């Protein structure tokens, strides 16, 4: 309050833009601490589309979801894709989101991924190229 900065962080803001909004793609990697670079865009998915906007030098961008599973509500009030969904979403759109080099660096920082969840999400994606 003293600095005039907004109290909620970018992830909490992004996951409350609409009732179904959640943090996804590279922004989810950032949330989990598995990114190499901090971006000034927050990627938000959900059932309700919204127009991109800028707040406090951060641009909030809507990315249509491919599947609806793998969303978690964290104790800090942030809705975010789980690590397995984040991996698949990011691989699926790496050229539009962060680029191959940043994706590979993010993947190197992942401490654990559940193989069963990855396979279940791959089945839901129904996209052979992801396999």
The domain locations on the chain are 10-130
Q: pLDDT tens digits, the chain, 131 residues: what are they?
A: 566 665 789 999 999 999 999 999 999 999 999 998 889 999 999 999 999 999 999 999 999 999 999 999 999 999 999 999 999 999 998 888 889 999 999 999 998 999 999 999 999 999 998 88
pTM of the model: 0.91
Task: Give backbone dihedrals phi and psi of 126, rounded to 5 degrees, phi first.
Answer: 60, 35
**Strand order, beta sheet including 58-62:** 53-55, 58-62, 41-45, 22-23, 79-81, 71-73
Q: Which value, to the nearest 10 degrees, does the dihedral of the CA atoms of residues 56, 57, 62, 63 take? A: -140
Q: How far does Cα 68 stand from its chain's mean position?
A: 13
Sign, CA dihedral 121-21-93-127, equals positive
């Amino acid at each position: 309050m003293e600095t005039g900065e907004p109290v909620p962080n970018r992830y909490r803001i992004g996951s409350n833009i609409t009732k179904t909004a959640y943090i996804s793609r590279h922004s989810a990697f950032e949330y989990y601490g598995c990114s190499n670079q901090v971006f000034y865009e927050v990627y938000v998915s959900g059932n309700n589309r919204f127009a991109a906007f800028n707040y406090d030098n951060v641009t909030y961008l809507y990315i249509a979801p491919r599947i609806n599973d793998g969303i978690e509500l964290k104790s800090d009030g942030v809705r975010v894709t789980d690590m397995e969904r984040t991996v698949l979403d990011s691989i699926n759109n790496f050229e539009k989101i962060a680029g191959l080099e940043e994706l590979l660096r993010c993947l190197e920082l992942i401490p654990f991924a559940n193989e069963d969840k990855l396979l279940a999400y791959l089945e839901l994606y129904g996209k052979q190229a992801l396999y």
